[in-house]
Structure 1
Amino acid sequence: MLGLTAIQDVVLQQLFWTLTTLLHSTLLRLLFAINLLPVYCLRQAISVLPTATRKLPLILTRQGREKLVSQTEQYRIYEEEIAAKQYDGSYKFTPANVLPWAGRTSWPVNRKVFEICEINVRVTHTKPKATFGKAKPIVLLHGNPSWSYIWRRIIRHLTAVGYEVFAIDWLGHGTSDKPVNVSEISFELHMHTLRRVIEQLDLHDFYIAAHDWGGCVALCTIPTLPDSRHCAGLFLLNSFFPARPSDISTHYYLLYWIWFFSTGILGPLLPDSFVLRFMAPNISMKTASAYSAPYAQSMFKTKASISRFSHIVPGLPDWVYDLRSTYSWRVVEGWLGPEHFTNLNAQASLAERNRHVRGWWLGEFDDKSTRNAPEKVMILFGREDPLLPEFKMVLERYIGVSHIVRPADRGWLPGAGHYPMEQKPEEIAYCIAQLSES
């Protein structure tokens, strides 16, 4: 006889299979997005109303408008300085703005601790259970809203055949410390984290396997690594370059906006398990609880980085970001409160970085910087991914400085969605090993 938990698992799995199936329809995605849009706009209007009311007199005079423009510029400079300092590691988080890890997780593994900008990043370290030749170390990078726990079964397979594995928890995720201010969490912080961990582990000729946003961080960071820190191979799993609207069709673009509006409306109230179950409907309650465990300490304080990743996708056309330089835009931004545009600022920055990064991977530059590029790259996507499948072609089109190793089925993983680690761990571990041995 099925227990209560087993019955709940069956009900939830069927519910999310149904929801996922329904949202295969472009029309239903459009209806969802249309219905969420006014709620999202109302939510944003409520948040800016106090600031807009207080600053209303300034917008009525020329001198006041100049002051608003000045406030906009000062705030943008403030955020740019944060990103620059985090990029070079000189930034110092204020202890009051950081929630240290409480030490509670259902995944008891050995972890190394590294100080990044004076707070702690934790890296799962698993040594090989057996040694077969000289297997190179592998660094695993998770995406959003997950943490290193997502690699647990792949780690088990890799260490069983002789690999030493390191799995990073990005700051704000999993067992790493969690900044609580969204504006203090830049993409550059994660780039520095990856470089710093590689340096502290003294890795050479290592491999990176990355999922979702982890792949985006890797693609942007590898071009900045010194020659002494050579990444020999890159395995990309359901991942992307900094995403642009031109990369995907309307069908998938609509799901991005559903995700954007939903997280913007509910914020930390949106259960992590909802997202996980939508992307991987077969997930169990026990597994979903393990994913959520690192954030149980304080739901409203621990999810700033999850929110930041959700809203810094440069998903708007370039002309929108270009409008930010106009006088009228800067007046309105100062009036509504520049702090409310922090995610848009980060989007514009990442859109600019995207142009250089894609050019580097395509081999457009003449500065010999690509000599440190990975010799080989493997790209693998779960075939049933409801959000990212079109990015597979984008990755294959832009990676021109490394040999692309083709796995079976032309890089598609049948029977897997956006979280294939939960559905096909053995196959993924085999492909990672195949990349390092090819």
Structure 2
Amino acid sequence: MRILRTPETAFEQLEGFDYIPRFLTISDEATGAPLRIHYVDEGPREAQPVLMLHGEPTWCYLYRHMIPGIVANGLRAVAPDLVGFGRSDKPAARQDYSYARQVAWMRAWLERLDLTNIVLVCQDWGSLIGLRLLAEMPDRFASVVLSNGGLPAGQTGPRAFRIWRAFSRFSPFFPIGKIVQAGTRRRLSAAEIAAYDAPFPSSAHKAAARVFPSLVPLGDNEAVPDQLKAWAVLDRWEKPFLCCFSHADPVTRGGERLFIARVPGTRDQPHSTLRGGHFIQEDDPDGFVAAIMKVTQQ
């Protein structure tokens, strides 16, 4: 496994993101290759951790507007970069990535960090990975706040997603910052777009970003059995599970209905609709933080 690492100089002077970078190295189970995972960890170490998982093709910079609000409420804000994104190591070949491998990598990181009583905050691929982690080790998690994500298990994806998947596979150009802008209602500044581009100085660094849409388990997919096992856990999940999807995401709009109909922990929760597009962390960070506070106060 050939592993790339974005030079730290790429992350100098990022607008609004001066958090101390922290790193933890795990081993890939299949090859033994070391993988360095970056994460932000702010707030009191003894406080309840809020684990914020980003999706595709972003990195933990996505949560920069939410971290201060989490910490100001006396909580511990933990936001990792998935392998292949941000400051984390990036296997160079698309075949190095699979859904199961991503879950295993983040499970190894989470166990090494030994977080417990976790509030899981997830969106996009953060939910595909985060909800699988919850299903594998439910005792570590206290509650869930889900926005613009899901846990697909062989369904047919919406037309907007099929277009996105084809673009990720075949487009000769893959401008990360502009892709994030396309999923955001708010106009990002040039500096913010550059920050989303920063982890990917070459096309070789974009292997994960390119392959992730094809790994979503829609239709006849190898990950479907594992998804069904995870759903079996969610079907019995009694702890708080709050949905706060956005009003203007063409891919996941209305996706909360599946969870509210099935997951016992969604009963009597103050579910809400946030105002924005797919990357709601950019459009309505205050609303997202307010939703998180609702489950921590229960």
Verify same fold: TM over 0.5. Answer: yes
Match of 2:174 in 1: 270
Match of 1:399 in 2: 263
Count of matched residue pairs: 286
Q: Which amino acid aligns with 2:178?
A: F
Match of 1:217 in 2: 129
Aligned-pair CA distance for 1:202: 2.2
Match of 1:427 in 2: 287
Match of 2:148 in 1: 238
Match of 2:48 in 1: 136
Aligned-pair CA distance for 1:207: 1.3
1:295 paired with 2:200, answer yes
Q: Counterparts of 1:227-376 in structure 2 under 5 Å?
A: 227=139, 230-242=140-152, 244-246=154-156, 253-266=158-171, 269-282=173-186, 283-296=188-201, 298=202, 300-316=203-219, 321=220, 348-363=221-236, 373=237, 375-376=239-240
Cα pair 2:177 2:195 within 8 Å, conserved: no
* CA–CA separation in structure 2 for the residues paired with 1:285 and 1:112: 26
Q: Give the TM-score taking structure 2 as reference length.
A: 0.89
Identity of aligned residues (%): 22
**Cα 1:115/1:405, change in 2 over 3 Å:** farther
Q: Give the TM-score taking structure 1 as reference length.
A: 0.62
Tell me which structure has the larger Cα radius of gyration: 1
**Cα-to-partner distance string for 1:228-276 (whole Å, 9 max, x where unaligned):** xx20111111110125435x6xxxx211111111111115x22113322
* CA–CA separation in structure 2 for the residues paired with 1:285 and 1:277: 10
**Cα-to-partner distance string for 1:373-401 (whole Å, 9 max, x where unaligned):** 5611111111111211132112222323x
* CA–CA separation in structure 1 for the residues paired with 2:267 and 2:114: 26
Q: Which amino acid aligns with 1:295?
A: F
Q: 1:417 aligns with which of 277, 293, 297?
A: 277
Q: 2:252 aligns with which of 374, 384, 388?
A: 388
Structure 1 residue runs of 4+, over 6 Å off? none
Q: Structure 2: any 5+ residue segments left out of the alignment?
A: 28-33
**Cα-to-partner distance string for 1:312-365 (whole Å, 9 max, x where unaligned):** 12233xxxx3xxxxxxxxxxxxxxxxxxxxxxxxxx2212222222222113xx
Q: Which amino acid aligns with 1:122?
A: H
Q: How large is the Cα RMSD of the aligned pairs?
A: 2.0
Larger helix percent: 1
Q: Which amino acid aligns with 2:155?
A: P
Match of 1:64 in 2: none
Match of 1:436 in 2: 296
Cα pair 2:143 2:240 within 8 Å, conserved: yes
**Cα 1:192/1:404, change in 2 over 3 Å:** farther
